[in-house]
Amino acid sequence: MRARLATGGLDFVLSVCVAILALLVALIFVVAAGVSFTSGADAFVSGAFGSQLNLAGTLAKMVPLTLVALGWIVVFKAGRFHVGFPGQILVGGMFVTVVALKIHLPAGLHLPLVLVAGMAGGALYAGIAAWLWAKRGVNEILSTLLLNLIAAQLLAWWVRGPLHDHTSPLPLTPAFPNSARWPELLKNTDLHWDIVLVPIAAILISFLLARTLAGFRMRLVGSGEMIAREAGVSPERIGVRAIMLSGALAGLAGASLVAAGTTPQVGEDFGGTYGFTGIAVALLARNNALAAVPAALLFAALEQGGQTMEGTVGISSSLVDFIQGLMIVLVLAATTVLYLVRRRTTKPRAPKATAPPTPRAELEPSK
């Protein structure tokens, strides 16, 4: 128990140091651009948390980032890797549009069905890559990359064809009814009640991985397929379930983006960059479900504050992409160093050489 707490504490300190170092490097670039250190830092903090409107924007961006990060953590614990979250977000949003526009129910029933539809869409789309891997041996990273491109084309056709709003020249769906949308938490802001998904999902995924038989099997497969097979656990079955669960979380992120968006319609680019940025959130959180919440808050603050900095002090918002990339590089570098240190300290020592036993005949005096 103490060893686990020490490891968790070290991982937390490592993530905090990486975040601080990345922010300091970014501020050096801000100073190099001719903006004072205090002005740059003040513009960033004010842009992310300085007003009710900015804070609401930060928290709204935090929701899909957390859900995607949890999806990555689930699949990582099972020893699998995929990058299909952008496509799963889009397909989840497409499923949502059907339920929101074609089914008419009271708000208490319509919104939960919308969320279930988003999760089903993401899970089914992830299931394609899972089936290709389990049955045909297709690498899931390659298949999900290609599926992302297909999802983008499907969405473009979706909002121009079957569900296009014929009253608008833009590629948009008709407006959603209020019964299919999250109500506002703060009036006239981007923050909706979908923020409650963040603590609920983080606690549930943490409990699933740490306290359930299904989570134990995922971690067992992640520790080694041969060990899992010896214990009677099928790595393919567990891997497929993990991939589909991660797709369901990505689909839920898509449903949240659609049902709590700034406009009650779906366009071609509603998914943004959340699918890939969420992976960076999980890496910064050291693949810990609970730590994904503050990590997502930091990345959301970077997105929101970076947009404001461009308008206030003239610093390009592309600096945010640089900070995120730097965090990933630092996390990977620190993880490698930490792994080498732990491996050296836990390496078993060779037993000391001892003299061979002297034969008894040599000890006895000759007669």
pLDDT digits (tens, 9 = 90+) for 51-72: 899 999 999 999 999 999 999 9
For the entire predicted model, the pTM comes to 0.89
| Domain ranges for the chain | 7-51+65-334
Length of the chain: 367
- What fold, for 7-51+65-334? ABC transporter involved in vitamin B12 uptake, BtuC (1.10.3470)
The pLDDT, as a whole number, for residue 364 is: 54
Answer whether residue 187 shows pLDDT above 50. Answer: yes
pLDDT digits (tens, 9 = 90+) for 111-158: 999 999 999 999 999 999 999 999 999 999 999 999 999 999 999 999
